[in-house]
Amino acid sequence: MIALPTVSAEIDVRGHRPFEAFAELIGELYPLVVEHLSCERITDLGLLYRWRGRDSGADPLVLMAHFDVVPVDETDAWTHPPFAGVIADGFVYGRGALDDKGPLLAVLEAAENLLAAGFAPARDVYLSFGGNEETSGSAAEAISDTLRDRGVTPWLVLDEGGAVVPSPFPYVRGDMAMVGVAEKGAVTIELSARGEGGHASAPPSMTAVRRVARAVDRLGPGTFRPRTPRAISRMLELFAPRTRGLARLGYRLLAAVPPLSARALAAMGGEGAAFVRTTVAATMQSGGTAANVLPSQASATINLRIALGETVESTVRRVRRRIADPEVAVTVVQGDDPSPESSAENAQFALITAAVDASHPGAATVPYLMMQASDARHFHRFSPAVYRFAPLAMNAELRATIHGVDERVEIAELERGERFHRALIEGLK
């Protein structure tokens, strides 16, 4: 799977052949899946498999994954070539090993093994695989539209997201299976301004570049007020038993008083702050054609990850108020509102917890808020129980290889991932 360079951002260069080859490879590696499950092509890059259960009238389980990957910087020094699929030291190396071909393989392994044992699930199981999650997610959106139009309301949707991580917060001991019960929204905006062009030897007091730079500077970390979502309060509550002494009391207090936890997490910065407020990141700037020429226009691109409780519209309003400069145009390039929170107190979450107990005994299953966007966001429009979790243990070093150098997955974790999905499917009622 890794040897096929399914780089969705480079499809115009590489063509569709790697993606077609991936679909063919599934048939070669998993003959029982192909024999017993129906398969539809939804757009050129979407694969939807249906495994009929004993009660096809019951709302189904949807297991999601994507088989496209991000590009590789050719100047990076990989231990093994990123598209060679080298197996070494108990790991499979390569682009996509963790994001998301490893989790996709675990789903197929579980289905194949259950079929080999003659097992039939209690309700229908859909396998939804998209080939452009890293660029737009349009294949997954088309799959979700197809199911919605057919009147199919999933009982449970599970996509990539959190993982089993050791000691995810200060003073927290042991492994935690972090299950995303919601994801932040995202909006990309462009700030642009015009000014007097001319020679740089006699600049006006306010140039286009300076005006845009001032606008960017006004969008600091404190632009948005922190607020603690229900999922984060529950996460802190479940962390408490895995701590000792004053730390346990501290986590209980933070869980019980959301305004206090909002301020505390915001003060942490980084991931802690991202849990509780909309983040602002200037990612691109442009303007000017020569070192000694004043540009007549300048622009900056800002990426914001929208906290739960806010919207694209309210976020853009806040940006305009914060900039406080009518000469700076604020243009929305693309935006999605945050998802609603799925419950961590229902039968679906209990089933995920039981599957974690089967694959990673001793790990506590904890809800959290996912900062990145996933294909699962397309199902929130009509499915009430949507979760994000890859059943693989990843320490901080491994998580850093996602979209980075030496991405790799431990073979033992692929086996545990298969065990998780097998237990999930067997546990359906």
pLDDT at 77 over 90: yes
pLDDT value for 275:
96
Residues in the chain: 429
Q: How much is the pLDDT for 197?
A: 87
Backbone phi, then psi, for 413, in 5-degree steps? -75, -30
Instruction: Evaluate whether 8-182+340-426 and 183-336 have a shared fold.
Output: no
Q: Which two tokens stand for residue 212?
A: 């845009």
Q: Is pLDDT above 90 for 57?
A: yes
Residue 146 CB burial class (10 angstroms; 0-12, 13-18, ≥19): middle
- State the pLDDT confidence band at 244, using cuts at 50, 70 and 90: very high
Question: Whole-angstrom Cα distance, residue 216 to residue 20?
Answer: 43
- CATH top-level class for 8-182+340-426? alpha beta
Rg (alpha carbons) of the chain, rounded to whole number: 23
CATH number of this structure's domain 183-336: 3.30.70.360
Average pLDDT over every residue of 41-68: 97
Average pLDDT of span 11-26: 97
Looking at every residue in the chain, the average pLDDT score rounds to 96
Q: Choose among 404, 359, 406, 385: nearest CA to 163.
A: 359
- State pLDDT tens for residues 28-52: 999 999 999 999 999 999 999 999 9
Q: Which residues pair with 47 in a beta bridge?
A: 41, 129
Q: Under 8 Å CB-to-CB from 400, ≥6 apart: which residues? A: none
pLDDT at 202: 85
User: Which pLDDT value is given to residue 319?
Assistant: 98
Give the pLDDT mean for 107-112.
98
Domain boundaries, the chain: 8-182+340-426, 183-336
- In this predicted structure, the answer to whether residue 196 has a pLDDT above a threshold of 90 is no
Query: pLDDT at position 215, please?
Result: 98
What is the value of pTM for the model shown?
0.93
Instruction: Give me 326's structure tokens.
Output: 């009518």
pLDDT digit string (tens) for 373-390? 899 999 998 999 999 999
Q: What is the pLDDT of residues 412-423, one digit of tens each?
A: 999 999 999 999
pLDDT tops 90 at residue 199: no
